[in-house]
Chains A and B, each alone.
Chain A
Amino acid sequence: AQSVTQLDSQVPVFEEAPVELRCNYSSSVSVYLFWYVQYPNQGLQLLLKYLSGSTLVESINGFEAEFNKSQTSFHLRKPSVHISDTAEYFCAVSDQGGNKLVFGAGTILRVKS
């Protein structure tokens, strides 16, 4: 079985500052890793995913995450945040059989002007 720990429940940050949202996972088998974003009153949207290959993956809106197998981490980073990035971010893991996602508790990113 897999589990996900998101180390921060809320992260306040000023606009144009860098941010890191931390995610650690536990699994006895190889995994796929995901970050989803949930804007207020909306469903979850996939932000980025790691399946294989390069350990650094990027999204179209400037976020990136790096898979670190030795640290069992998949932290999400953005060098300069915007007000519109305010949302809740969920880290998720799946075993490579790929039947379901296991989510962390979420991190609320609050971007202040």
Chain B
Amino acid sequence: QLQLQESGPGLVKPSETLSLTCTVSGGSISSSSYYWGWIRQPPGKGLEWIGSIYYSGSTYYNPSLKSRVTISVDTSKNQFSLKLSSVTAADTAVYYCAGRNGPDPFDYWGQGTLVTVSS
């Protein structure tokens, strides 16, 4: 049973870069059938897909965030990461990391981590 856990700063200043890491346990991030992704949820609002990555490094980003987002994978640590640059208050949200088996939707989720953008 895969388990995912987000980690990173809970407070980021405006214009800086938000950096989060997701640690995967209970399985290998290099599994050829799995994709990994980030989804966020502003307080009291709905869900927004940020992007996904395959263990090989192939990435897929939401066009609305593409210019500011980088998702990468570190197979040696069984982790994948999110960087979101030039953040504003609108980027304040709970950030979830998640895993999916091939074409299926996300079936494994981290507990989520709240990131607040404020000076």
Please say whether chains A and B are actual partners in one complex.
Answer: no
- B: residues with CB less than 8 A from A are none
